[in-house]
Amino acid sequence: MKKRPFPPALRRSLYLRRRPLAAASAFLAVLAALLVLSPGAEERVTVYAARTNLPAGTVLAEEHLAPLDLPPEAVPEGAAVAPGDVVGRTLAGSVSARSALTAASVSGAQRLASPGHVVLALPVADEAIAGLVRPGVLIDVIDAAGEVLASGIPVLSPPDTPSGGNLSLGGPSRSVLVEVPEPVAARLASQGLSTVTIVVR
| CA 65 – CA 68 distance, rounded (Å) | 9
* Tens digit of each residue's pLDDT (9 = 90 or more) over 3-49: 555 566 655 555 555 566 566 666 667 666 665 555 545 789 999 99
CATH number assigned to the domain with residue range 45-110, chosen from the 4 options 3.20.20.70, 3.90.1210.10, 3.40.50.720, 3.10.20.600: 3.90.1210.10
For the stretch 75-117, pLDDT in tens is 988 899 999 888 888 887 888 899 999 988 887 655 666 777 8
Kindly report the pTM of this predicted structure: 0.42
Task: Please tell me the distance from the alpha carbon of residue 198 to that of residue 60, in angstroms, as a whole number.
Answer: 33
Rounded to an integer, what distance in angstroms lies between the CA atom of residue 111 and that of residue 106? 11
* Stated length of the chain: 201
Rounded Cα distance between 23 and 19, Å, is: 6
Instruction: Please state, in angstroms and rounded to a whole number, the distance separating the CA atoms of residues 60 and 90.
Output: 6
Buried b (16+ CB within 10 A) or exposed e, 13-31: eeeeeeeeeeeeeeeeeee
